[in-house]
Structure 1
Amino acid sequence: MTEGKGPDDIGQRVQRLRRERGLTQRKLAEPAYTAAYVSTLEAGRVRPSEAALRHLAERLGVTYDELATGRPAHLDTELRLALTEAHSALAAGDTAVAAEQFAACLASATRHGVETVQPAALLGLGECALESGQLDEAREHFEAAERLLAEEPLPRRAAAIRGRAVAHLLAGELRYACYLLETAIDQLNAGGLHDPDALLLLYSAAIGPYMDMGAHARAAQAAELALALAPGATDPALVAGLHRSVARTLIAEGRTAEADVSLAKAQELYQRLRLSSDLAKCHWMRGYVHAQAGDLERAERELCTARDMLASQHAVLFTHQVEVELADVLRRRGRDREAGELLSSLLNRIGPDRGAVHAAGAHRLLGLIAEDGGEPELAEEHYVSALSLLERAGAAGDLADLCRLLGDLLRRTGRVELALDVYRTGLGHRAAPGTTTLGPAPANPPVPPGSLGRPLPTRTPDQSR
């Protein structure tokens, strides 16, 4: 319950503080007021004037604001410091500690009515819940923050919207994640609310679901627009996140060397900012880049580093997702048994509501391992399970590849007509990725002339891997 400024609240505070200090009503009132006035005030039958409150506050040894609102002196400053410490704990990967600190900030801010701190504490709790894989809890925190910011300009709500979208993305709800991000981007641009930080945050967040849905052209456009906005951004962590997201589009285009450069930029910024969780995700993506380039030994090292960092931070869901990538590298290095055991244990912990795309990836890999082991029926079961997960998530790009694998298996086992049907389904996803589930692309932001249309970042001679 928020402490207020009503006569009952103020009267109770005056009475409590007077008794704590051993003062009579007459002693407190002198010399400007009477004991009867103090008695009436303490009973809540009169609203004191500013002059009366200042007199009483001086006699009681508290500040005017503390007596008027019930907030302890310097509370706002203390809460801001506590928020900074909580963010530092989250950046260092101490998710549980950070969550406790954000919760304490929220409780104190709510109790004392410090409305400016409550949304920030809820956003912090939402980020902690994302890291620990508590997706429903994360959505609730982000939604609560957005409600508190409902009357604020849209740029102030961008972080809450992005948080909700990421929670839906991790839950396998790709289309809804895109809808949330695109709607906010359109509203920002249409309303002339050109805020580089807010737009950069939203465009960078949209790249992931675009890629998972197979909408590669739209992902590349979002990356291009985000790069154009980067010079005007004030938060270096946002710029680091941009470079990490852009790497996904470069990987999809086969530009692995350039993707590694983009990730190196992100990694350098994360190290400078001491953002351990984001740094772990850079190792994750660099492992994927090395795997795409065929350097499996380096890929395994990077993925193991990412897994260990995320596991130490109790980032459970992200740890599981890295392990799917690691299992793929292990399989490609000829360690099928090790990969299969890792994937089988993972499927007990991820699924339709927690990392659907990666759960499908685990089934796909188990299908490949089963085929290599001469178990076509088991392989088919895994491919079908993967298809079901990807269809629910709307991950069109992965669906096309999986249809090819299943079609080949059906053809080899003599079910040609069924194989043709599966191939046709895959061709449908490959022909127009994303267009069956996404509406028109968001309007472009008003960026500086000449900043659009430039190529995504490329390696220069003095940039080392």
Structure 2
Amino acid sequence: MAEKSSGDGRGAAGAAGAGAGTGTDGITKIGRRVLRLRTERGFTQRQLAEPAYTAAYVSTLESGKVRPSEAALRHLAGRLGVTYEELTTGRSPRDATRLRAGLTDARRALATGAGEDAAERFRELHAEADRLGFAEERAAALLGLGDCALESGELTAARGHFEAAEALLADEPLPRRVPAIRGRAIAHLLAGELRYSCYLLESAIDELNASGLHDPSALLLLYTAVIAPYMDMGAHARAVRAAELALALAPSVDDPGLVARMHRGVARTLIAEGRTAEADASLAKAQELYEQLRIHTDLAHCHWMRGYVHAQDGNLKRAERELRIARDMLASKRAALFTVLVEVELADVLRRRGRTAEAEALLLPLLARTPASGSPDAWASGQPAGEPEAAGLTAERGAVHAGGAHRLLGLIADERGDAESAEEHYCAALSLLERTGAAGDLADLCRLLGDLLRREGRLEAAMDAYRTGLGHRAAPGTTTLGPAPAEPPV
């Protein structure tokens, strides 16, 4: 029997079509796969080779010393009882379908149930995808693990999962990597690293537009995500423009969950412009979509944002009701970090309704550490190195809301005449917000501190506080952000 090899005139094209690659690594992997499958089925090399090939050819193929032709691989796949694609790529269609179904179930569990249960399922799927060598499914499982970690407030773990997913997809087009980039940016945002969060999102937007990859879904994901850090940094004009572009892109996107997320993000810019009725209408659209899709976490975020809208509009009773719904939904999902962030905003509403004791009782447990002295640094320092992540707010975990909690406690102390405690809280808030670059709230905080110091007769210190506040109000966001990203042709 004449031995057939890549010299049959179809070898190079066959190898490329087989996915064996041009290097020896792909050839070696196929050889090992043939050896494993042959051994599992109890075939000898001669039994596998006949009638078209020789045992010697199978031997050299299994050792990675010959580049197999497409014809040879199709023959071997038929003898081994697998598909040509499974033999050349290692991807069994049955395994791939089963893994994708498992990932869909895990996503549904994350949307409707507790994050810990979903995380356990994602871990199992990641291990199986790793064993099978399925990079795409491994990346999807890592994205799921990252989202679970965001819910529970494990920001370091979340960043690690998103970075690993991005690395697995390094050779894929940028739109495929956007969910991982967005997840990493949100983890940095929640850690108080607003400038770096903006950098990640703006860089991806620039790269997409500069390369001509005007993928509407990817761009919508990025523009929606960048609104929050823009607003916290006081870059309102950029936030509004991002919202306008997101609205323009939405008709080109088929994913209802993504469109709902866009409406939720855009609402914040509408609130800043005083367009509360439009903001509430956008949130109502998002809420309807989330209810149809049974996405509980995002539905809770909608209630949260609607509470914020009503608070800004002065309807404190409705604000309290929406925020309590959001808190209960997030707590039932054991979304620890998001739950405490909502509680800070609920405490603000309670204080404005005159229920300061309730507000204070809600806020104090949220701050992971209390100061050992009157030093503002004691409040802002967070937890010492080596300790596990705390359940409350620190300089590295929910820093913007930690600053908000200290600001509220300062107001409560100020209102009851405890100037020393009020100053401690204002200074702690100032330290946190300056560290994060949250210019949007700094000017008002400096005014509160300046007023307190002036009443205490410390005029020079009061002037310093006012000057700091004026500096932040004069050019919001411009000291930390470079040129705005390029815009897509929408």
Q: Determine if the TM-score, normalized by the shorter chain, exceeds 0.5.
A: yes
Task: Report the equivalent of 1:239.
Answer: 259
Out of 259, 262, 268, the position equivalent to 1:248 is: 268
Q: Structure 2 vs 1, CA of residues 395 and 30 (structure 1 numbering), >3 Å: closer, same or farther? A: closer
Q: Structure 2 vs 1, CA of residues 99 and 3 (structure 1 numbering), >3 Å: closer, same or farther? A: farther
C-alpha displacement of 1:65? 4.8
Does 2:438 correspond to 1:395?
yes
Task: Report the equivalent of 2:178.
Answer: 158
Matches of 2:161 and 2:364, distance apart in 1: 32
Bigger shift: residues 99-108 or 285-294: 99-108
Q: How does 1:174-193 map to 2 (within 5 A)?
A: 174-193=194-213
Contact 1:3–1:111 under 8 Å retained in 2: no
Task: Report the equivalent of 1:99.
Answer: 119
Residue deviations 1:37-71 (CA, integer Å, cap 9, x gap): 77887788878766666566555555555556655
Contact 1:189–1:443 under 8 Å retained in 2: yes
Q: How does 1:119-158 map to 2 (within 5 A)?
A: 119-158=139-178
C-alpha displacement of 1:28? 6.3
Task: Report the equivalent of 1:417.
Answer: 460
C-alpha displacement of 1:120? 2.0
Matches of 2:248 and 2:91, distance apart in 1: 45
Consecutive unaligned residues of structure 1, counting only runs of 5 or more, are 448-465
Task: Report the equivalent of 2:287.
Answer: 267
Higher relative contact order (CA 8 A, sep 6+): 1
C-alpha displacement of 1:428? 0.7
Residue deviations 1:239-296 (CA, integer Å, cap 9, x gap): 1111111111121222222211111111111112221111000100111111122222
Contact 1:3–1:112 under 8 Å retained in 2: no
C-alpha displacement of 1:133? 1.1
Task: Report the equivalent of 2:41.
Answer: 17
Matches of 1:285 and 1:130, distance apart in 2: 18
Contact 2:38–2:44 under 8 Å retained in 1: no
SS at match of 1:214: coil
The one-letter code matched in structure 1 to 2:316 is L
SS at match of 2:393: coil
Out of 378, 388, 409, the position equivalent to 1:366 is: 409
Bigger shift: residues 256-265 or 354-363: 256-265
Does 2:308 correspond to 1:288?
yes
Q: Structure 2 vs 1, CA of residues 198 and 73 (structure 1 numbering), >3 Å: closer, same or farther? A: closer
Bigger shift: residues 369-378 or 45-54: 45-54
Q: Structure 2 vs 1, CA of residues 14 and 282 (structure 1 numbering), >3 Å: closer, same or farther? A: same
Q: How does 1:60-459 map to 2 (within 5 A)?
A: 61-66=81-86, 71-72=91-92, 74-348=94-368, 349-447=392-490
Q: Structure 2 vs 1, CA of residues 204 and 60 (structure 1 numbering), >3 Å: closer, same or farther? A: closer
Q: Structure 2 vs 1, CA of residues 152 and 72 (structure 1 numbering), >3 Å: closer, same or farther? A: closer
RMSD: 2.5
Matches of 2:229 and 2:210, distance apart in 1: 23
Residue deviations 1:22-46 (CA, integer Å, cap 9, x gap): x677766666677787788778887
Matches of 2:476 and 2:113, distance apart in 1: 36
Residue deviations 1:414-440 (CA, integer Å, cap 9, x gap): 111110110010011011110111111
Matches of 1:441 and 1:46, distance apart in 2: 53
Residue deviations 1:360-393 (CA, integer Å, cap 9, x gap): 0100111111112221100100000000000000
Matches of 2:151 and 2:318, distance apart in 1: 26
Bigger shift: residues 5-14 or 185-194: 5-14
C-alpha displacement of 1:116? 2.8
Q: Structure 2 vs 1, CA of residues 75 and 359 (structure 1 numbering), >3 Å: closer, same or farther? A: same
Residue deviations 1:292-330 (CA, integer Å, cap 9, x gap): 222222111111110011111111110010000111111
Matches of 1:40 and 1:428, distance apart in 2: 74
Consecutive unaligned residues of structure 2, counting only runs of 5 or more, are 1-25, 369-391
Aligned length: 442
The one-letter code matched in structure 2 to 1:15 is T
The one-letter code matched in structure 2 to 1:362 is A
The one-letter code matched in structure 2 to 1:284 is W
Q: Structure 2 vs 1, CA of residues 68 and 244 (structure 1 numbering), >3 Å: closer, same or farther? A: closer
